[in-house]
Structure 1
Amino acid sequence: MSIKVAVFVGSLRQDSINRKLALAVERLAPKDFSFEHVPIAGLPLYNQDFDGDYPAACRQLKQSVEAADALLFVTPEYNRSIPGVLKNAIDIASRPWGTNSFAGKPGAAIGASIGATGSALSQQHLRNVLTYVDVPVLAQPEVFIAFKDGLIDGDGKISNDDTRKFLQGFVDKYVEWVKRFR
């Protein structure tokens, strides 16, 4: 039985450290987990005016979430909070009222930053939003990576054994969490 995870990376940057973190997590997951990165860059800003006739990109986003068994949010920290593009995607997929695509899907929030707090404040804001849109969020372990050059490469290979062990511990708990909802 395969488990499909919709991955939301909150950074649009080509060489995003959070994309690298997402890939590292994917490499550590069991073979029965598959990961689909959900594109959020081209979405229009959420506007209630289009609730009656959602744009195609917004419908596709909702379909990607609905097709997933679980969710993984990998976010940087912008000005002590989540990136606007990530919040916009969440707003779109949870609307219009009564059609929340996220409802009941298990998820987790992790992130990396070059700062010492490794996206801790961003994740706290994200957890508040996810709780409101009815995503049961894995509480522990929290993953706040203070990213250094070379820690994870563009293919998700982790250079530090302690980081690899820590992330494997997260993945093991995440897998257990997701399977509770199956």
Structure 2
Amino acid sequence: MTVRILALVGSLRAGSHNRQLAEAAAKHAPEGVEVNIFEGLADIPFYNEDIDVEGSAPEAARALRTAIAQADGLLLFSPEYNGTIPAVLKNAIDWASRPMGAGAIVGKPVAVVGTAYGQYGGVWAQDETRKAVGIAGGTVVEEAKLSIPSSVIRFAELHPADDTEVVEGLGKVVDQLVAQSGAAAA
């Protein structure tokens, strides 16, 4: 049986180091684990209950909810924007949390990792992401953490998929998420 992990990347930038981290997680996923990067966060409108009507919610939001529902776990990649979570990632969490108490994220194991330019690797944003996910009903895998500082320097000439330390760190996070996903499925 394949464990399906859905990756959501909180940066829309073409050269995003967080996107590259997600690519590394997908490339180096262990046997029996599939990491798929969700495409389309930029297409999802800001959450608004007036447009979140059963049967007519925006297609992009429905696609996100379906992808989350079909995944065994979520791996969120968060850069840090002004000391907190990027709006696009927060918006995805908001859509995934609805309908309240029964959203696609409810009970879903979630790990949060990321990289940022600063010396702490975006830990504030990642902590805020974990907080939002927990409140939304996701099961935060607290021990699954990876914050990589100085992204612009570290990944200037080396893709994260080719950085042994990063690949090992991502591997540990994926293993922890898979263990929690297995527990959730049992």
Fold match by TM threshold 0.5? yes
Task: Give the aligned partner of residue 41 of structure 1.
Answer: 42
1:58 to 45, 61, 73: 61
Aligned mates of 1:36, 1:165 — CA distance in 2: 19
Aligned mates of 2:82, 2:128 — CA distance in 1: 12
Aligned pairs for 1:1-182 within 5 A: 1-38=1-38, 39-52=40-53, 53-146=56-149, 147=151, 148-150=154-156, 152-153=158-159, 156-159=160-163, 161-182=164-185
> Aligned to 2:15, what secondary structure does the other structure show?
coil
More helix by share: 2
> Aligned to 1:116, what secondary structure does the other structure show?
coil
> Aligned to 2:41, what secondary structure does the other structure show?
coil
**Paired positions, count:** 179
Cα-to-partner distance string for 1:37-85 (whole Å, 9 max, x where unaligned): 2220111111110122311111111111111111110010001110001
> Aligned to 1:140, what secondary structure does the other structure show?
strand
CA contact (8 A) 1:48 1:96 kept: no
TM, length-normalised to structure 1:
0.90
Cα-to-partner distance string for 1:74-123 (whole Å, 9 max, x where unaligned): 01000111000111111112123344110111110001011111010001
Aligned mates of 2:5, 2:137 — CA distance in 1: 17
CA contact (8 A) 1:151 1:158 kept: no
Greater mean deviation of Cα atoms: 91-100 or 137-146: 91-100
CA contact (8 A) 1:28 1:171 kept: no
Instruction: Indicate the percent of aligned positions where both proteins have the same amino acid.
Output: 34
Is there any run of 5+ residues in structure 1 with no aligned partner, and where?
Answer: none
TM, length-normalised to structure 2:
0.88
Greater mean deviation of Cα atoms: 105-114 or 46-55: 46-55
RMSD: 1.7
